[in-house]
């Protein structure tokens, strides 16, 4: 049975990954950690530690204490927030990654660190962006992601550390709100629809980006770490996607179920510039061939599930 440490477990992905990993590997085999104090039923099912992942000894102590063999490294500052404080973006994204890789090298752990569509830039082919292509991002977030991909591959080839990764598109979920990304609008729009509010869209009509529903993202993270590596041609990092849309398309998908829903456009310059530098759509055929990636949710199926779940939350007074 794996002995897993999640670093940065308090965020949009970590809150749900903690639950799913504990369902699979057992509550006591999954240690969740974050810079901030983690509270609530999902976290309290098993061990909780406070780790600032820019401090290597804090990771070392927990890895030794629980005999950890697998690290999910989720600590990062997302794209829009990092653009407001680039050094923070670099220090957290790269500090956490380098420390996790060093600990993994010394204590023989596998490491998963998500990359992003942000690892691409304005000179990358925009449509059906290939797995292997130009990566010259225009954001500090993207610079950390490309650096992370390269460092993770280096630790594999140089030291044999079992590093694996996917390039996530925007993730849409209903448990924990996203933390300062450019794709956050695609989550916030569902909350506005269910609350009966007019949605103010921070991106222009026609701004296409790849997206994915959280259940598929959780499968990607768990399945790639369980995959037989003998079939890998790539490692850090695989393109994965489930859908591509612009604000108008997701708005109309929601309007089908919430007919009086209204949206207006008020583009935010930083988010718009970031989105304009990212691909419209990714080619994820290598992930499909090398480890069986196969998402289950398209836009309509996700929309039905998001609206149902958020309406239930609203009825319980949780929105």
Which residue of 93, 148, 170, 202 would you call a contact of ligand SER, by CB under 6 A?
A: 170
* Rounded distance between C-alpha atoms, residue 241 and residue 171, angstroms: 10
Cβ at position 178, least distance to ligand SER in Å: 6
By CB under 6 A, residue 76 contacts ligand SER = no
Which residue among the candidates 43, 72, 141, 185 is catalytic per the annotation?
Answer: 141
Q: Out of ligand NAD, ligand SER, none, which partner does residue 147 contact, by CB within 5 to 8 A per kind?
A: none
Candidates 289, 273, 275; CA nearest to 240 is 289
* Rounded distance between C-alpha atoms, residue 54 and residue 32, angstroms: 16
Cβ at position 40, least distance to ligand NAD in Å: 13
Q: Rg for the chain (alpha carbons), in Å?
A: 19
Q: For this structure, is 141 an active site residue?
A: yes
* Rounded distance between C-alpha atoms, residue 55 and residue 76, angstroms: 14
Q: Out of ligand NAD, ligand SER, none, which partner does residue 182 contact, by CB within 5 to 8 A per kind?
A: ligand SER
* Rounded distance between C-alpha atoms, residue 62 and residue 40, angstroms: 21
Pair 35, 75: CB distance under 8 Å:
yes
* Rounded distance between C-alpha atoms, residue 94 and residue 27, angstroms: 29
Which residue of 89, 93, 121, 181 would you call a contact of ligand SER, by CB under 6 A?
A: 181
By CB under 6 A, residue 36 contacts ligand NAD = yes
* Rounded distance between C-alpha atoms, residue 235 and residue 150, angstroms: 10
223: which 2 tokens?
Answer: 């399945």
Which residue of 75, 82, 306, 310 would you call a contact of ligand NAD, by CB under 6 A?
A: 75
**Span of 45-53, 126-134, 151-159, 295-303 interacting with ligand NAD by CB under 6 A:** 45-53
Interface residues with ligand SER (CB under 6 A) are 78-79, 116-118, 141, 170, 181-183
Residues belonging to the active site? 141
């Amino acid at each position: 049975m794996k002995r897993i440490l999640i670093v940065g477990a308090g965020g949009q992905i970590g809150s749900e990954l903690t639950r799913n990993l504990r369902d699979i590997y057992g509550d006591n085999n999954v240690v969740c950690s974050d810079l901030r104090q983690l509270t609530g039923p999902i976290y309290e099912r098993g061990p909780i530690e406070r780790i600032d992942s820019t401090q290597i000894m804090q990771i070392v102590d927990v890895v030794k204490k629980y005999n950890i063999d697998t690290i999910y490294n989720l600590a990062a500052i997302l794209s829009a927030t990092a653009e407001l404080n680039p050094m923070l973006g670099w220090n957290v994204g790269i500090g956490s990654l380098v420390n996790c890789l060093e600990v993994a090298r010394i204590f023989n752990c596998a490491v998963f660190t998500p990359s992003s569509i942000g690892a691409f830039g304005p000179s990358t082919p925009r449509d059906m962006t290939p797995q292997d292509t130009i990566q010259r991002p225009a954001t500090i977030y993207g610079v950390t992601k490309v650096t992370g991909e390269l460092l993770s591959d280096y630790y594999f080839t140089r030291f044999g550390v079992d590093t694996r990764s996917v390039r996530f598109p925007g993730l849409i979920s209903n448990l924990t709100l996203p933390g300062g990304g450019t794709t956050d609008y695609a989550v916030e729009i569902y909350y506005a629809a269910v609350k009966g509010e007019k949605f103010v869209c921070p991106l222009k009509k026609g701004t296409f980006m790849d997206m994915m529903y959280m259940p598929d993202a959780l499968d990607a993270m768990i399945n790639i770490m369980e995959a037989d590596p003998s079939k890998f041609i790539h490692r850090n990092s695989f393109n994965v996607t489930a859908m591509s849309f612009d604000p108008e398309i997701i708005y109309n998908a929601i309007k089908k179920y919430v007919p009086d829903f209204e949206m207006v456009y008020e583009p935010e310059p930083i988010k718009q510039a970031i989105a304009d530098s990212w691909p419209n759509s990714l080619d994820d055929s290598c992930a499909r061939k090398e480890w069986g990636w196969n998402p289950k949710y398209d836009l309509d199926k996700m929309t039905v599930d998001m609206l149902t779940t958020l309406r239930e939350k609203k009825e319980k007074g949780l929105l």
